[in-house]
Amino acid sequence: MLSHSFFSLSHIYFPSRNSPPPSFFLSLPPPSEPRTRTRTRASDPKPQMGTESFMYMGRTLSQLSITDDSSSSAFSDCNSDRSGEFATASSQTRRLLIACASENSDDFIRQLVADLHSSSLDDQKQAAMEIRLLAKNKPENRIKIAKAGAIKPLISLISSQDPQLQEYGVTAILNLSLCDENKDLIASSGAIKPLARALNSGTATAKENAACALLRLSQVEENKAAIGRSGAIPLLVNLLETGAFRGKKDASTALYSLCTVKENKIRAVKAGIMKVLVELMADFESNMVDKSAYVVSVLVTVPEARAALVDEGGVPVLVEIVEVGTQRQKEIAVAILLQVCEEKANYRTMVAREGAIPPLVALSQSGTNRAKQKAEKLIELLRQPRSGNGSARGTSEVMAA
């Protein structure tokens, strides 16, 4: 969920661009006249700042106030980077100055792109950081930055041995990928394999943002197979298993998108995803039950995933969710069980022996309309003679909303 903050800039004067900026500011020309702007951004830290006055490139900036209120959605959509490098008042102000870039940003962006090619590591870091912020805070800048030729040099930074530079490159690409017009260019410029490598070698933030960037690129259907071939699927499974909550959430979101492709489902199963998902579904304190179950729901359309789910102890976990989970969790759990029971009679026997029928009866009477329908279908299926592998109804009907 996005939050809103309001700030104003006043008393802005424009001297020569050659004036050296103080070290605590980024070199950004502010707007040409005082105005009040409203900005929307995702989950930044809550700054508490009063009125401040600074000299920036000879300009006086005063009466700057900031308020913020942030929250996150239940299933991450990876809307932009959530890095927390803005810890001080001066760096918060620096971020807001970058957010204000508009009328005078074209020359500034071209200079930043040129700095990406610098032989100075510090210049590259500074340029990459400023580009990522411009792309994060101003949607219109995403197209400008791409047209200025930033994408290829940013991709090259993703392979940097410097962890911070790699992180900035990954995150800048993520923020540029939020623009649909940039997705094809980013993929065709060779970003997929470096992003996959960042899942293995990057900082925690780089891994999370690489997962988000791959999610964004996967929204172009043709990219899903390429991402699968890049080796990203096992690395996303590893992030799902070993990452912090943010990493788990971002990995599950990316896998949910990528595993709509059959080949990627098989890759995920071979990488051991089902064991990880079952463990997360079984942990009601993980805040990952819903997200894990949704990933399972897209996987179990292939027999390899159904077999892995059963082998990893998924049936009793799903039955427990039907019994004690939230309404949404119950609905997705019963849909998965219905899909599993369609394939083999011994799966139906296993589900029945786990005591599924009483909670299914309760769900058929008190759940959501869709949950009731699925519960009734599953009860009917469990009460059929348990022999043969025939299916009572098509799998597309089973998993239909």
In a domain, 126, yes or no: yes
Cα–Cα dist 192/243, whole Å:
21
In a domain, 27, yes or no: no
Cα–Cα dist 261/320, whole Å:
29
In a domain, 137, yes or no: yes
Structure tokens at 339: 């899909």
Q: How many residues does the chain have?
A: 401
Contact 37, 100 (CB under 8 A): yes
In a domain, 85, yes or no: yes
pTM score, whole prediction: 0.75
In a domain, 336, yes or no: no
Structure tokens at 257: 């998108």
Total domain count, the chain: 1
In a domain, 212, yes or no: yes
Q: What is the CATH number of the domain that holds 189?
A: 1.25.10.10
Dihedral sign of CA atoms 210, 212, 213, 217 in order = positive
In a domain, 401, yes or no: no
Give, for 374, the enclosing helix (H) or strand (E).
helix 369-382
Tell me if residue 194 falls in helix, strand or coil: helix
Question: Among 231, 308, 319, which Cα is nearest to 275's?
Answer: 308
Residue range of the domain that includes 246: 78-271
Cα–Cα dist 65/7, whole Å:
5
Per-residue pLDDT of the chain (401 residues; tens, 9 = 90+): 333 333 333 332 233 333 333 332 333 333 333 333 333 333 334 334 333 443 333 333 333 222 333 333 334 456 666 554 444 444 554 555 555 555 457 889 999 999 999 999 999 999 999 999 999 988 899 999 999 999 999 999 999 999 999 999 999 999 999 999 999 999 999 999 999 999 999 999 999 999 999 999 999 999 999 999 999 999 999 999 999 999 999 999 999 999 999 999 999 999 999 999 999 999 999 999 999 999 999 999 999 999 999 999 999 999 999 999 999 999 999 999 999 998 889 999 999 999 999 999 999 999 889 999 999 999 999 988 655 444 444 444 444 44
In a domain, 72, yes or no: no
